Amino acid sequence: MQIMINEIKNWIQEAAEIIKKEIAKNDMTVDTKEDRKDLVTNVDKQVQDFLIEQMHDFDPEAKILGEENGRDQLTDFSGRVFIIDPIDGTLNFVLEQENFCIMIAVYEEDKGKLGFIYNVMEDTLLWGGPEVGVFINEENLPVPADLNLAEGLVGMNSSMYRKNSYNAQLMAERSMGVRMSGCAGLELISLIRGKRNAYVSSLAPWDYAAGSVMLDALNMKFSNIEGGPLKFNGRERFIAATPTAYKEMMQLVGQAQN
Chain residues in the site for a copy of itself (CB under 8 A):
36-37, 91-92, 95-98, 122, 150, 152-153, 158, 161-162, 169, 172, 176-182, 190, 195-196
Q: Say if residues 185 and 240 touch (Cβ distance below 8 Å).
A: no
Shortest Å distance, C-beta 99 to a copy of itself: 9
Q: Which is nearer to a copy of itself, 25 or 36 (CB)?
A: 36
Task: Please indicate if the annotation marks 87 as binding a ligand.
Answer: yes
Residue 49 annotated as part of some ligand binding site: no
The response to whether 207 counts as a known ligand-binding position is: yes
Helix orientation angle between 184-192 and 205-217, rounded to the nearest 10 degrees: 10
Least distance between a copy of itself and beta carbon 145 (Å): 11
Least gap, CB of 153 to a copy of itself (angstroms): 6
38 is in an annotated binding site: no
Three-class SS state of 31: strand
Helix (H) or strand (E) holding 48: helix 42-58
- Using an 8 Å Cβ cutoff, are 63 and 79 in contact? yes
Judged by CB, which is closer to a copy of itself: 71, or 193? Answer: 193
Cβ contact 253:245 at 8 Å: no
Task: Answer whether 117's CB lies under 8 Å from 210's CB.
Answer: yes
Contact status, residue 103 vs residue 196, Cβ threshold 8 Å: no
Closest to a copy of itself by CB, 21 vs 162, is 162
* Residue 151 annotated in ligand binding: no
Runs of H (alpha helix) within 97-175 = 158-162, 168-174
* Least distance (Å) between residue 42 CB and a copy of itself: 19
Annotated binding site for Mg(2+): 67, 85, 87-88, 207
